[in-house]
Structure 1
Amino acid sequence: MQTLIWKNLNQAERQTALTRPAQTLGDEITAIVADIKNQVVNQGDTALFALAEKFDKVKLDSLKIAPSELDNAQNALSDDLKSAIDTAYANIHKFHTAQIPTPIDTQTMVGVRCSVATRPIEKVGLYIPAGSAPLFSTVLMLAIPAKIAGCKKIVLCSPAPICDEILYTAKRCGVDEIFSVGGAGAICAMAYGTDSIPKVDKIFGPGNAFVTEAKRQVLMTGTAIDMPAGPSEVLVIADNFANPSFVASDLLSQAEHGADSQVILLTDSHVLADKVLGEIESQLQTLPRADTARLALAKSRIIIADNLTECVAISNTYAPEHLIINTDNPRQYLDDIAHAGSVFLGAYTPESMGDYASGTNHTLPTYGYARTQSSLGLADFYKRMTVQELSVDGFKNLANTVIQMASAEQLDAHKLAVTVRLDELQGK
């Protein structure tokens, strides 16, 4: 990791220091995904079988997972792992249940009643990546709020062969249908529907560059998505009270995600920075994914600021996906955090806790989108309708206001919709 002294950098150098690795969603990926989309739209299941054989090296007899496969998965897992999943389930369910919206029903003026009606998105699609790290924890993060919200159809796709952990967790969460379909093909299948896979209204879940591009393309044709997704990232603010071993492990926990991940340490302590570098090198020796982590670390930074207030300001400029504040009194800085996907306070709140089991959602805005987007929550599985109802007196009280405004905008039919009612009332 490169170590930088913030006060010694000019404006251009500061901007470079907080630049993320370039995302490689080039023309080639766009063209490949567009071709996959056309195959799925025109050939349906036939295309999905072919794509599984081509990309996942699996020849499938059926796309849909049978109930017997779910039973086998349940029997294959250890009791310890099932207990861990149950604990995570309970915490995530409790936190998301607390997000059930409070009814809004108010009188804006006498006789004018306005309210908000909340409805679940009817059909949702969940994409769960596999590859070198099958993310069964993501099933919990997506399926639990979908069930709490009351979505009528929950479909899950994951590359073949789907691991027992994903199958067990999907059953535990009450997913309706599970399909062995991966990559861009899965996104397109859920967006447009095939003979086997139902068309959904909104797609959730992370993935590689092809999945990300597929989500972008289906968004352009009317299927909603959860959020733009980029490489994973963490920013740690730490002072000289922090344990260097803890800080190093937090940085490595994100660096191991992928070569395009980025980790940043902000500190006011030269001593801590040096100790963390030593700990990183030591801990790397024990990690199976050390080569991947080293590639991410090569694009990462340690930035030494004058004080923790400056560290917070730098963090707000970066707008990290994960923000860990490992200082003597971390909560004192929370009110000053303007942009972050999820915040972890204190020495004993590693990012891993939120990734798996604290209760918060690990589906978060990356690549600086935390400036405008929120972590995934129950609200993402709902849509809202505003409702208004006017009594006769309310209509009379508001009529002249609307007449004046419609006249000024030269929208005479809007004005007429009011005046015809006034005329009818005056004729009674």
Structure 2
Amino acid sequence: MKIERVQGTVSLRRTIESGTEEQRQAVKRIIDDVRNNGDGALKKYTEMFDGISLDAFAVTQEEIEEAYWLVDENMVHIIREAAQNIREYHERQRETSWFMTRDDGTILGQKVTPLDAVGLYVPGGTAAYPSSVLMNVIPAQVAGVKRIVIVSPPNERGTLPAAVLVAACELGVQEIYKVGGAQAIAALAYGTETIEPVDKIFGPGNIYVALAKREVFGQVDIDMIAGPSEIVVLADETAKPNEIAADLLSQAEHDERAVSILVTPSLQLALKVEEEVEKQLATLPRKEIAQKAINEYGAIYVTDTMKQAIDVVNELAPEHLEIMTAEPFEMLSAIRHAGAVFLGSYSSEPVGDYFAGTNHVLPTNGTARFSSGLTVEAFMKKSSIIFYSEQAWQQHAAKIAAFARLEGLEAHARAVEERLKRGGK
């Protein structure tokens, strides 16, 4: 890893999922095809991109039963315990409708309503992501969403990873479809003969999935366009170099574009972590991916003071921030920009990824400056409630009409004044 002495601000080399013009046009063609031809287009693209011909896209009960045979029983219990932790945390985020009254009889409020239907895209390929199922489905259920749909690309056997199916079944998801890529996003947005459309789409995917989500936004809502994973470790001389190195590599193995950064005022620690990263890389199964990420997007920033180190962290606005210092809670109030903050040497980032209960869907590409991780609120919408009493109307109608005319909207003003003609009746 590159060690760099810094005294001012820094920036990360980040990749934005904007794609090439060729990719964008390809995605538009796929979406139009699915919109016009439904299941026929899904079948065509599943054959083309996933290499398998499917007669039906819905996961069957037999496939779910087989999944339970393939997943170790102990792992099923771990999934259940993780789900309970996640549900317990997200239950505290539940919002309720509210009302307020004024002395003149006016009643104002906010009605909180869960979305009717949401779709979750679960990435496929060589890996399985049951954690994505837990992190997206559970807050939707806590919010009260009635219809939750999972889509994911089929494997060479024409089914989905067993762990994904077990996680979905444990949560009681009824609609699971074996379809991936831009065509799956189009199906969720516009519907086909098999898949009814949803109101909002969640979940990460490859560049084609990201571009498809951009393209259908407006027809449906989307959660975010996620970039490569990021971790920043803020550490002092009390931190253990081997633990920091392991945590940096835990993100580097995700993607060749993943960002792994150490920020510290200790040059001695920086040198030890640099050495430890190279040592641990040698035995990683995903060494090639992690090595490229470390070479291209990894760095160690050494500052003069801890205050400068904190300033650097806030400038980076990372997805994941680990604070590995003697008194991590003392640092927390100074942190302004981070998707999730992990305090202390035992709070390794994977704790949040899988088990603690917090959500691992977090803002990337520096968007932690203005956005938050996935919460129950993302699965709900809010309506303003207004009841104006006659007393309030008589008192304020002229002011409202004057405001309308200030903006040149005469019909607005007249809409107020028409009611003044009642003469109190």
**TM-score interval, normalised by the smaller of the two chains:** over 0.9
Mapping of residues 25-424 of structure 1, within 5 Å: 25-107=19-101, 110-161=104-155, 162-219=160-217, 221-299=218-296, 300-424=298-422
2:2 match: 2
2:277 is aligned with what amino acid? I
2:163 is aligned with what amino acid? E
Q: CA offset at residue 97 of structure 1?
A: 0.8
User: Secondary structure, in 3 states, of the residue corresponding to 2:422?
Assistant: helix
User: Secondary structure, in 3 states, of the residue corresponding to 1:247?
Assistant: helix
Q: CA offset at residue 75 of structure 1?
A: 2.9
User: Secondary structure, in 3 states, of the residue corresponding to 2:270?
Assistant: helix
TM-score, normalised to structure 2, is 0.95
8 Å CA contact 1:112–1:395 kept in 2: the answer is no
Q: Deviations over 1:177-207 (max 9, x none)?
A: 0000011111111111111111111000011
| Mean CA deviation greater in 181-190 or 375-384 | 181-190
8 Å CA contact 2:140–2:376 kept in 1: the answer is yes
User: Secondary structure, in 3 states, of the residue corresponding to 1:118?
Assistant: strand
User: Secondary structure, in 3 states, of the residue corresponding to 1:424?
Assistant: coil
Q: CA offset at residue 211 of structure 1?
A: 0.8
Inter-partner Cα distance in structure 1 for 2:353 and 2:272? 26
User: Secondary structure, in 3 states, of the residue corresponding to 1:166?
Assistant: helix
8 Å CA contact 1:191–1:223 kept in 2: the answer is yes
Inter-partner Cα distance in structure 2 for 1:131 and 1:307? 44
Q: CA offset at residue 394 of structure 1?
A: 2.2
- Structure 1 residues 278 and 166: alpha-carbon distance in aligned structure 2, compared to 1, 3 A threshold: same
Q: CA offset at residue 284 of structure 1?
A: 1.3
Q: CA offset at residue 415 of structure 1?
A: 1.7
Inter-partner Cα distance in structure 1 for 2:69 and 2:340? 35
- Structure 1 residues 344 and 388: alpha-carbon distance in aligned structure 2, compared to 1, 3 A threshold: same
1:6 is aligned with what amino acid? V
2:4 is aligned with what amino acid? L
| Mean CA deviation greater in 82-91 or 22-31 | 22-31
Inter-partner Cα distance in structure 1 for 2:378 and 2:3? 39
Q: Deviations over 1:241-275 (max 9, x none)?
A: 10111111110000000101111110110111111
8 Å CA contact 2:17–2:210 kept in 1: the answer is no
1:365 is aligned with what amino acid? P
- Structure 1 residues 22 and 104: alpha-carbon distance in aligned structure 2, compared to 1, 3 A threshold: closer
Inter-partner Cα distance in structure 2 for 1:184 and 1:22? 18
1:403 is aligned with what amino acid? A
Q: CA offset at residue 400 of structure 1?
A: 2.9
Inter-partner Cα distance in structure 2 for 1:108 and 1:228? 42
Inter-partner Cα distance in structure 2 for 1:89 and 1:6? 42
Q: CA offset at residue 38 of structure 1?
A: 2.1
8 Å CA contact 2:82–2:357 kept in 1: the answer is yes
User: Secondary structure, in 3 states, of the residue corresponding to 2:251?
Assistant: helix
8 Å CA contact 1:321–1:366 kept in 2: the answer is yes
Q: Deviations over 1:102-132 (max 9, x none)?
A: 4321125632211000111111000000213
User: Secondary structure, in 3 states, of the residue corresponding to 2:386?
Assistant: strand
Identical-pair percentage: 41
User: Secondary structure, in 3 states, of the residue corresponding to 1:403?
Assistant: helix
User: Secondary structure, in 3 states, of the residue corresponding to 1:46?
Assistant: helix
User: Secondary structure, in 3 states, of the residue corresponding to 1:156?
Assistant: strand
| Mean CA deviation greater in 377-386 or 390-399 | 390-399
* Unaligned runs of at least 5 residues, structure 1: none
User: Secondary structure, in 3 states, of the residue corresponding to 1:266?
Assistant: strand
- Structure 1 residues 293 and 384: alpha-carbon distance in aligned structure 2, compared to 1, 3 A threshold: same
Inter-partner Cα distance in structure 1 for 2:408 and 2:28? 45
8 Å CA contact 2:50–2:153 kept in 1: the answer is yes
User: Secondary structure, in 3 states, of the residue corresponding to 1:365?
Assistant: coil
